[in-house]
Amino acid sequence: MPSPFPGMNPYLESKALWPEVHHWLITLLAGSLVAELRPKYRVAIEHRGYEMVDGESLMVGIPDVTVARGSAVPQHPAGVATAPTLPQPYKVSIPMPEEVREGYLEVREVATGLVVTAIELLSPKNKQAGAGRAAYEEKRLKVLGSQANFVEIDLLRGGRAMPTVGAGAPERDYRIVVSRAKQRPGADLYAFGLQEEIPRFLLPLRAGDVEPVVDLQALVHRVYEEAGLDLAVDYGEAAPPPKLSAEDLEWSQALIADAVDLE
């Protein structure tokens, strides 16, 4: 069935589903822009990667001891080898590194190869204290200090929102920031709630070029249907954290009940 939510579906924000949703959205967004931007621009899907252990970045170095394979040397040439008596160890678990790969888009000018616009779709680790946020904030500052335009899409209610300067920015569930290089430090902020559709916006390009309209709402609905996410979501359970407000909870439960009745 189609997504019962007219805007962002909060059930897609779960830890289990978001990596898949993120991958689909990045891919479909790139595909939707290619036809409108060619032949002057192309859209590249890029990745940044790092490893984490218990939420902290992993430093990979040279081990203190290495064991190399060599020629076999008999341990007891004069007699039969005997197994020594060893103490019994405790059974424990050790933290394993988690490889994190985050995708983003770059709109590049074909003639020069220069990045004209960087497009980021935030992940949960970008909004939580630790290596993921630090890596993202470093990248964010580099882009904002360059001549490239910047689009930041936040479809996650959880975590700490990326900083903006100045009063008047509303506290809403979701945010899209469009930063044009020529207008910095000014930027356009689209803030919207669970009960609203995702607003459309113009993708910033070089001055004088026709800017395409980005319709994220249509792409979110496409992801839900083409990825078969209705088969993965259990609407009998509560939406993933953070908890919905009483008003949003009542509204979402009514939407879900209507959608189930129509099946």
Mean pLDDT score across all residues of the chain: 86
pLDDT in tens, 169-228: 778 999 999 999 999 999 999 999 999 999 999 999 999 999 999 999 999 999 999 999
pLDDT at 75 over 60: no
Predicted confidence at residue 59, as pLDDT, reads: 37
Q: Residue 64 — very low, low, confident or very high, per pLDDT cuts 50/70/90? A: very low
Contact 174, 192 (CB under 8 A): yes
pLDDT in tens, 78-123: 555 666 788 887 776 666 556 567 889 999 999 999 999 999 999 9
Q: Which residues contact residue 104 at a Cβ distance below 8 angstroms, ignoring those fewer than 6 apart?
A: 26, 45, 46, 47, 48, 118, 119, 120, 121
Q: What is the DSSP string of 95-158?
A: ---EEEEEEEEEEEETTT--EEEEEEE--GGGGSTTHHHHHHHHHHHHHHTSSSEEEEEE--SS
Predicted confidence at residue 113, as pLDDT, reads: 95
- Tell me how long the chain is: 263
> pTM of the full predicted structure?
0.81
pLDDT in tens, 9-22: 999 999 999 999 99
